[in-house]
A and B are shown apart, each in its own frame.
Chain A
Amino acid sequence: MPLAIETKHLSYCFNKKRKVIDDLSLQVPEGSIYGFLGPNGAGKTTTMRLLTSLLKTEEDNIFLYGKSLLKNIPYIFQNVSALIETPSLYLHLSATENLKVVATLRGIEKAAIPNILAMVNLDKHASRKVKEYSLGMKQRLALAIALLPNPDMLMLDEPANGLDPHGIIEMRELLIRLNKEEGKTIFVSSHILSEVEKTCTHIGIIHKGHLQFQGSIDELRRTAESKKAFFVIDNVEEWRNTINERIDQPVAWDNSHLVVDVRSRQDVVAMNTKLVNMGVPVININSGGGLEEWFLNMTKN
């Protein structure tokens, strides 16, 4: 699959002591929604700034659509839009005028502006000054600006910031639609796994400048698929010793829960069958840990 973004052993440091980005080799396939995941301070925004050349490296190791970024600035932005950190908006202008600035700069027809505003649900506020906007509205306007030139790829830095739950869902749907219907590649950073999990086709996890994981969402699931199962048992104290004696594999107790290491769903079913056969009253099974815990573990110090 051709790559929309590729970095080869990208490193960056603000000062000599500490590398902010260390040996990062990203591979973002064309047509994917790539979730770039990591806790705060992991180096997500720095990576984004490097990918858009807002931060300069003198090395030629970033490629967009197979072309060297270093050599193709600024024309590479013909079909790439980026929205990094806080929205860049001229507060003294209206939404339409903000879009006009970019349209003029790029030499785009201004006729597209109302449609774009409708796409992000700002058509009713088109002539209001941006300084009166809420954070969520600003975020949506910034997205509109990024969408205006109809780019092949969008780079979005935490686009859900400041959006209300409804807005988050809308944003999610919009991104999926753009990806599905228009085939746009979307590179989106986030620190919330569940958010990424719901939209992305591919995921990269960064922690302290290192890439910890990269692959499709299925690969991720496979790797991270529940390692533990939690069995909630009625009258647990009656059964504790019986279970300890009769189960032929290592078990642990977490308060009143029985914790069992599992490798697959079959393992969970098998264990459940055993317990039921023994007459243990199983009330509930949680496929514990999962992606969330796995992600937390991975990004722990």
Chain B
Amino acid sequence: MFIRSLKAEYIKTKASGLKWLCLGAAIFIPLIQFLFYVLVSDTVYVNKPQNPWMDFINGSIGAFAPFFYPLLCVLIVLRLAQFEHKADAWKLLETQPVSKAALYFSKWVMCILVALACLLLLLLLSVLFVFLLSLINADAEYKTSSIEWGKALWFVIKIWIAGFGLMALQYFLSISIANFVAPFVIGLIATIAGTILGQFQIMPWWPYTAPQNTANYYAQSSDWLLPHEQLSILFMLLFLFLGFRLFSYKKIKYAVIKPVTRLVGVVACIALFAFAFWFVNRPKQLERGSKTVIAGEIESKEKISTLYLMDAITRDTIETIPVQQNRFVAQVKEDIPAAFYYLRMGSDMRQIFLGKGDSIYIDAEISELGKKTTITGTRVAENRYSMSNDFENNFWYLENMAYQYQPKQFAKNVLDEWKKGEKEIDKYKTVSNIKPSDDFLQVQKKLLRLKLLQLLDQHYPQVFRVYHPNDTLKYPKEVDELRKGATLNDESLLFSDNYIQFLGGHYRKASKAYTDSGYYGYVVQNFPAGKAKDIFLFRSLSEFISIVPDSAKRQYFISNFGKAISSPKLISALHEKNKSLNSMKRGKPAPEVHAETLNGKPFALSSLKNRFIVVDVWATWCGPCKKEAPYFKELAERYTSESIAFVSLSIDEKKNDWKIDAMGKAEKVLQLWATNATEELNKNYNIESIPRFMLIDNKGRILNANMPRPSDPEFENILLKETAAFRR
């Protein structure tokens, strides 16, 4: 009976315009994308995808899902329901020897089948267009990669499932309301609201946002069905139940209230839905086991045979992890505390949060086009949180606009930010509704508190002193609440730059010292002994010595204050650092730098021997570097000769970013991209900030490892002085 009913529904779709609707909806985005690639992409789309097939297909589906798909669902459901409303044919169907369930659900099944057909058509057309594109476009990536059918199909099916909830709601409306305007307007408004809500990630359960969420999160999660997709199914069950009730009993009174058994049924169903809704939406915290395991997959052109898990501060190797056939699995033997660690994968270094008892899975793709690392497992929430939340930048207005505020107002702003921030930390969960562990959340809250305290007690007082030299700063009492929780030797926070900064600020203020040695003397004396002291001293000293150009002075600080560090490892690391700084001394041989030219040919800095080399270390994301570039170029045009070379050395992660920028720049400046910036250039030359300018002599020795900026006339003076004998 159901099948008969479904067949009858199929006959009705003939000549109904549904086919054209689906075709139109499905062709629109692939066509636009195709035209974009053909007509515009040469200049705009330079970051070539690794798999252009999948990029095109996923692009089509991803663009289709947020708005077009829900709207299409609304229209499909409306059209199918309007068959009967328009023909006044419910009375015909209901006087057939066919059960109401068969009538109601066959039409529903028809709705979702049409939606599926449309999505499959979209997939097919995307494949067709990307195939056409591959004929036009000669890029090698089309040959080296292929369509991953399983992934593409699963993506489509997930979008389809995500649409069930909204379709069932529309089905309920479209069947019970004979007029077509009301369900359409409701559907349109709800869809538009859904796209907006999705943008701001508000009300993630809203059924009309579900396809968009699937498109956004599909790549992020390996879950079979994400919570919003499970909710979509729940919404479907609820609205199908209510809709069918109303359809069979016609009047709300009989469908819901009379007799009492029906009321009980409806109430029970809604209660069940509410429970399931809560169950799916509840935040989860993951259980940890007894073993600490790191496993994963790594895809890279560079041959990586070993990974290193390292301490974030000392960079000591905690575990070496062998890689076999791009896969690795290892147990961490040490009892490591939950904290941030570094995982070195070839030339790439990745920060990961990890602790005893965690099982972590890492999926890494490293290529010259960029890096992509996905971390799943028991610390998925922590690692995702630290990638997405960077609250350091959130208080710029408190920092830069501090002068605008009176103490009372400033304190109030700080306290408001505190409450807001804590709430956000508590609220955070991943798309799979997983919350970070409590210890991690505590650390995040402490960091937030410290950052705000820093603004309150270290930053604002300075500002206040300048703007109100004759007044004394008095905060309202409420700020004590914020101060209470701050501790000066919290080991769990030592990984954080913010904490080190906070401690520095605190001790500098407390020491009342005007000299660095006075300050360090105070710290050595007053900081309670322990791991926190070791690490604080290590970190602040190594930062300090890297800005001290005088090697004798560096040695003085290390031997006087470094000895207060109890860990021999940290002390030797400090000496190591000093050694590399000493090697930057005038007359020391300049370490080799391996790089690539714009033609893609390997290039070694040492091959410029017999010439003086003026080096500009920069990156595309660095604003100040770009400001200096014209000055550098101007000098290059004047002084480049057989004996002097000007080199711009980029430390960009993505080679293509550099290429876009460097292409078409001054001929006189040799444009290079450091092939192993982190491990070679940064380390050997101790590059901690850019722009950095260096001068190397014609014997390959360092003349000046820290030149002033070219915009400073001193730059030219040094250059002229050092090269005087060799210029013509």
Contact of B8 with A by CB under 8 A: yes
Q: Is the CB of B94 within 8 A of A74?
A: yes
Contact of A139 with B by CB under 8 A: no
| Known A54-B94, A74-B98; contact A90-B88, beta-carbon cutoff 8 A | no
From B17, B89, B93, B95, contact of A89 by CB (8 A)? B89
Q: Once bound together, how far apart are the Cα atoms of A126 and B99, in whole Å?
A: 29
Residues of B within 8 A of A86 (CB): 88
Number of B residues, CB within 8 Å of A:
31
From B4, B92, B97, contact of A88 by CB (8 A)? B92
Q: Is the CB of A90 within 8 A of B98?
A: no
B94, B95, B249 pick with most chain A CB within 10 angstroms: B95
Interface, chain B (partner A; CB < 8 A): 4-5, 7-8, 11-12, 14-17, 83, 86-100, 249-251, 254, 258
Task: Kindly provide the distance from the CB of B274 to the nearest chain A CB, expressed in whole angstroms.
Answer: 30
Nearest residue in A to B259 (C-beta to C-beta)? Answer: A58
Residues of B within 8 A of A76 (CB): 97
Taking CB atoms and an 8 Å cut-off, the chain A residues in 92-122 that contact chain B are 92-93, 97, 100-102, 104-107
Residues of A within 8 A of B98 (CB): 74, 105-106
| Known A90-B83, A105-B4; contact A85-B88, beta-carbon cutoff 8 A | yes
| Known A56-B249, A86-B88, A88-B88; contact A93-B96, beta-carbon cutoff 8 A | no
Taking CB atoms and an 8 Å cut-off, the chain A residues in 6-57 that contact chain B are 49, 52-54, 56
Q: Is the CB of A107 within 8 A of B92?
A: no
Residues of A within 8 A of B15 (CB): 92-93, 129
Q: Is the CB of A75 within 8 A of B94?
A: no
Interface of B (DSSP majority class): helix
Q: Is the CB of A54 within 8 A of B91?
A: yes
Can you give 14 contacting A-B residue pairs, CB < 8 Å? A54-B94, A56-B250, A74-B94, A74-B100, A80-B95, A84-B95, A88-B90, A88-B92, A92-B14, A93-B11, A97-B11, A104-B8, A106-B97, A106-B98
Q: Once bound together, how far apart are the Cα atoms of A49 and B96, in whole Å?
A: 14
Residues of A within 8 A of B90 (CB): 88
Q: Is the CB of A77 within 8 A of B96?
A: yes
Task: Kindly provide the distance from the CB of B303 to the nearest chain A CB, expressed in whole angstroms.
Answer: 64
Q: Once bound together, how far apart are the Cα atoms of A59 and B37, in whole Å?
A: 68
Residue interface bits A244-264, CB-to-B below 8 A is 1, else 0: 000000000000000000000
Nearest residue in A to B254 (C-beta to C-beta)? Answer: A56
Residues of B within 8 A of A81 (CB): 95
Contact of A91 with B by CB under 8 A: yes
Q: Once bound together, how far apart are the Cα atoms of A75 and B4, in whole Å?
A: 15
Q: Is the CB of B12 within 8 A of A75?
A: no
Q: Once bound together, how far apart are the Cα atoms of A74 and B11, in whole Å?
A: 22
Q: Once bound together, how far apart are the Cα atoms of A91 and B5, in whole Å?
A: 19
Q: Is the CB of A84 within 8 A of B86?
A: no
Residues of B within 8 A of A129 (CB): 15
| Known A88-B87, A88-B88, A90-B83; contact A52-B8, beta-carbon cutoff 8 A | no
Residues of B within 8 A of A49 (CB): 91
Contact of A82 with B by CB under 8 A: yes
B97, B98, B249, B250 pick with most chain A CB within 10 angstroms: B97
Q: Once bound together, how far apart are the Cα atoms of A40 and B226, in whole Å?
A: 59
Q: Is the CB of A89 within 8 A of B96?
A: no
